[in-house]
Chains A and B, each alone.
Chain A
Amino acid sequence: DAGVIQSPRHEVTEMGQEVTLRCKPISGHDYLFWYRQTMMRGLELLIYFNNNVPIDDSGMPEDRFSAKMPNASFSTLKIQPSEPRDSAVYFCASSRQGSPLHFGNGTRLTVT
């Protein structure tokens, strides 16, 4: 079991650029979550999917953020255009119904 795999580990980009974060959940897990971690707000749930369908995106900050899950083994979180205040560590996590979350190692995003 390779765990939840996120890429890239680090991303540095300029304000206004498009950023795409990627996540491969653990095989067999039917829930996928995107969290954002900052010093000011801690861990915030952005969006989660069940069986590839977005269930709750109320945590997505604004229209610049979008997430997709085209199949059971892949999800993306896109920010377009990016802003300095988007700088954070973005975590992906997956689980089965009734089981705890398994987190990836995160993507550290820096927007200059």
Chain B
Amino acid sequence: AQSVTQLDSQVPVFEEAPVELRCNYSSSVSVYLFWYVQYPNQGLQLLLKYLSGSTLVKGINGFEAEFNKSQTSFHLRKPSVHISDTAEYFCAVSEAGGATNKLIFGTGTLLAVQP
């Protein structure tokens, strides 16, 4: 079974500052990793995913994440945030090569961008 830990429930940051949202996972098998974003009163949207290959993954809206197998981490970063990036961010994991897209989500991190 897999699990995901997002240690930071909330991250306040000023506009145009860099940000990192942390995600660690646990799994006995190879995994796929995902970051989703949820804006108020909406469903989740895919930001980026790691399936294989390059460990640095670029996503939408200027976000990127780096897969670190030795540290079992998949931290999300953005060099300069905007007010519009204020949202809840979820890290998720699924079993690599599995027959399903069954995702296990972390508890989420609220990114609060202040002017």
A residues sitting closer than 8 Å to B (CB atoms) are 4, 31, 33, 35, 42-43, 45, 48, 50, 55-56, 91, 93, 95, 97-106
Contact = CB atoms under 8 A, between A and B. Distances in A.
B99 to A, nearest CB: 8
A100 B43 contact: no
A103 B41 CA distance: 12
Which secondary structure characterizes the binding site on chain B? loop
Contact of B103 (A4, A45, A56, A106): A45
Which secondary structure characterizes the binding site on chain A? strand
Contacts, number: 54
Contacts of A31: 100-101
A55 B100 contact: yes
Nearest to B42: A105
Contacts of B36: 103
B34 interface: yes
A103 B37 CA distance: 11
Max chain A CB contacts within 10 Å: which of B44, B45, B49? B44
A97 B34 CA distance: 16
